[in-house]
């Protein structure tokens, strides 16, 4: 790469990455795909001891993995702190290893931090939320250093948009997306202001 090209490349806004586990990744993915500044969301697995785990293996709860989403975002549009705020308010961070009827360590609430800055930001917000008394119980979200992230099978990607009539999507994912839209209207992508297309 020549010097001019190198300089130009450094001027491009750097994309940042966050990895979060908030129960079933269909829910978490559906929320962040609708958020301004989010460039890409990939459902997958991390936090376990088995290489290249399958969905079936992770669902046993024996591999140690959590269902997560890996979010690529533009930090000039949305901050990591904003992403965390959405995270804590669109799932229940006070229930250990469960979200509703989904039970097991694979559904744990977790922030898989990429660096010490992310870890500190998450810890700070957890302390603030606990002190505020906003939740009825203490937050049990774990802070775990990201190791290897494994993308989930293709059929899990963009699952809610691809399967709006699925009973789980109607009963669980849909309400989470509605909760996000109601609380975070200013953070909705312009093309997602009207949810009618999902009301089938």
- What structural domains does the chain harbor? 12-195 (3.30.1060.10)
Q: Please state, for a pLDDT cut of 70, what percent of the chain lies above it.
A: 88
Residue 4 has pLDDT above 50, yes or no: no
Q: What is the pLDDT of residues 118-154, one digit of tens each?
A: 999 999 999 999 999 999 999 999 999 999 999 999 9
Residue 47 has pLDDT above 90, yes or no: yes
Instruction: Give the pLDDT mean for 62-71.
Output: 98
What mean pLDDT is reported for the chain? Answer: 91
Specify the pLDDT at position 192.
Answer: 66
Greater confidence, 112 or 14?
Answer: 112
24 is catalytic: yes
Q: Is the pTM higher than 0.85?
A: yes
Q: Which of 24, 27, 59, 169 is flagged as catalytic?
A: 24
SS3 track for the chain: CCHHHHHHHHHCCCCEEEEEEECCHHHHHHHHCCECCEEEEEEEEECCCCCCCCHHHHHCCCCCCEEEEEEEECCCCCCHHHHHHHHHHCCCCCCCCEECCEECHHHCEEEEECCHHHHHHHHHHHHHHHHHCCCCCCCCCEEEECCCCEECCHHHCCHHHHCCCCHHHHHHHHHHHHHHHHHCHHHECHHHCCHHHHCC
């Amino acid at each position: 790469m020549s010097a001019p090209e190198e300089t130009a490349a450094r001027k491009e806004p750097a994309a940042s990455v966050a990895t979060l586990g908030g129960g079933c990744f269909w829910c978490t993915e559906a929320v962040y795909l609708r958020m301004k500044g989010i460039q890409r969301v990939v459902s997958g697995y991390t936090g376990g001891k088995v290489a290249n785990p399958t969905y079936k293996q992770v669902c046993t709860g024996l591999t140690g993995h959590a269902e997560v989403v890996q979010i690529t975002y533009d930090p000039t549009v949305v901050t990591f702190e904003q992403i965390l705020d959405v995270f804590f308010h669109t799932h229940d961070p006070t229930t250990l290893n469960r979200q509703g009827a989904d039970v097991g360590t694979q559904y744990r609430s977790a922030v898989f931090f990429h660096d010490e800055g992310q870890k500190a930001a998450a810890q700070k917000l957890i302390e603030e939320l606990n002190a505020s008394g906003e939740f009825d119980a203490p937050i049990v979200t774990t802070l775990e250093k990201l190791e290897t992230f494994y993308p989930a099978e293709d059929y899990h990607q963009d699952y809610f948009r691809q399967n709006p009539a699925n009973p789980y999507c109607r009963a669980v994912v849909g309400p989470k997306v509605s909760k996000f839209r109601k609380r975070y209207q200013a953070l909705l992508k312009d093309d997602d202001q009207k949810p009618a297309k999902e009301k089938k």
